[in-house]
Chain A
Amino acid sequence: MSNEELKIKLIELIPPATFEEGNEWMTINIESSNWKTVAQQFRSTAGFEFDYLFCLTCVDWKTHLTMVYHLTSTIHRHTLVVKSKLDRNNPEIETVSDIWRTAEFHEREVYDLFGVKFSHHPDLRRLLLTDDFNGYPLRKDFEDPVNMIKL
C-alpha cells in the first residue's frame, strides 16, 4: 500500500492523529494516552497488519521527549513511523511488549538510558548499564564530571 492510501486509511481510523510530511515513510504523531489501543489496531485490523516493530527509540528534544516506533508489515509491505510526545518531568507511556514481543528489550534500553517508564511492562529494569548507575545518560541534561570531559 502506498503512502497516500495508507494516509487515507489512517485518517479514517484515528481522527486525532497528525501527519508529518516530507519523510520517506508515512509518519504520524499520536497522543501517548491512547497509544495502546492504536497499537492494537495497527497489529490486528486487516489492511494494516503491522506485525514487525523494527525500531523503538526515544529522542530528547530539550523541551520534551519523543518516543519513535517504526512498524512494518510483512504481509502488505508498507512501513509506518509513529511518534509520540512525552512530558519531560514525568515520561510515561504504555508498553507494547504484549503486542510485539521485541519491545521488551527495546523498552528496557529506553528506560535505562532515558528514564521513560513503561506501564505494565513485565520486567522493567536496567539493561546495558550497571544496576547501580545513577542517572539517565542519553538525556541532554546528564552531567558526569568524573568521566565526561567537556570541550
Chain B
Amino acid sequence: MSDLQNINGEFENVSPTGGELEGAFPGSVHPTASGGILVTKLDEVINWARSNSLWPLVFGTSCCAIEMMSTASAKYDWSRFGFEVARATPRQADVIIIAGTIVNKMAPVLKRLYDQMADPKYVIAMGACATSGGPFFYNTYSVVKGADHVIPVDVYIAGCPPRPEALMHALITLQEKIRKGWTREQIKNNNSISNGQ
C-alpha cells in the first residue's frame, strides 16, 4: 500500500504533503480488483458541485460594479473559481452579487430579480452601501439602509469599494459555506449539514 491509502486501503483527500485539501472532491475510493468504488455522501457531492460552478447575475448599480468588473477581467479573474459565465438573466444565474447602492426606487426591482432566480440561489452583499447603507446611512431620503432589508443575504463584504481580492475572498467564503451546508438556502430546506455539527 502506498502512503496515500489509509488502513482500509481507501484513498482519501490528502495532498501530496499530507494535508487536507480544501475544495477537493469529497469522497474516497475503495479499491477493488477492477478499479474501485467511490464512497461518498450525495449531499456532499452535490454541494461540492454547486459551489464550484456558481454563475453570477450581472447586478451592479454603483461604484462597486467597477470593482466587480475588474474582478471579472483578466488581472484578477474570478472564472478561475467557477464563476465563468455572468448571465444577464436571473433565470440562469445562481448567485446575485449586489454591487452598489440600493435606493428606494430600485428595491422592488431587486426583489423581483431575486424572486425570478431559480433555487438554489445565493446572495452576496458587496460593499458598504449594500451591507448597511454605507455612507448614505444618515441624512438621506432615498437609500435603503442595507440590501438585507429587501432580500436575505449570505455573505457581506466590507469596503467602499472593496478591493477585488476582498471580493474573491467573499466568493471563496461563499463556496466554503455551501460545502458546509450553512447557507440560507440549505438551512431552509433542512439539508444535511455535512460536518455533522
Contact = CB atoms under 8 A, between A and B. Distances in A.
B141 A142 contact: yes
A130 B105 contact: yes
Interface string A127-151: 0011000000100001010011111
Contacts of B138: 148-151
B137 interface: yes
A149 B132 CA distance: 13
Interface in B138-167: 138-143
A147 B137 contact: no
Contacts of B140: 147-148
Contacts of B142: 129, 137, 147
Interface of B is mostly: loop
Contacts of A148: 138-141
Contacts of A137: 141-142
Chain A contact patch, size range: 10 to 19
Interface in A98-149: 129-130, 137, 142, 144, 147-149
23 contacts: A129-B142, A130-B104, A130-B105, A137-B141, A137-B142, A142-B141, A144-B141, A147-B104, A147-B140, A147-B141, A147-B142, A147-B143, A148-B138, A148-B139, A148-B140, A148-B141, A149-B137, A149-B138, A149-B139, A150-B138, A150-B139, A151-B138, A151-B139
A118 B130 CA distance: 37
Contacts of B137: 149
A149 B146 CA distance: 14
Contacts of A129: 142
B150 to A, nearest CB: 15
A24 to B, nearest CB: 28
A130 B138 CA distance: 21
Contacts of B104: 130, 147
A142 B142 CA distance: 13
Contacts of B139: 148-151
Interface string A25-57: 000000000000000000000000000000000
Interface in B93-112: 104-105
Contacts of B105: 130
Interface string B67-108: 000000000000000000000000000000000000011000
A144 B105 CA distance: 16
A151 B135 CA distance: 13
Contacts of A130: 104-105
7 closest A-B pairs by beta carbon, nearest first, are A137-B141, A144-B141, A149-B138, A147-B141, A148-B139, A151-B138, A148-B141
B196 to A, nearest CB: 44
B109 to A, nearest CB: 13
Nearest to A137: B141
A87 B74 CA distance: 56
Contacts of A142: 141
Residue picked from B105, B137, B139, B143, most chain A C-beta under 10 Å: B139
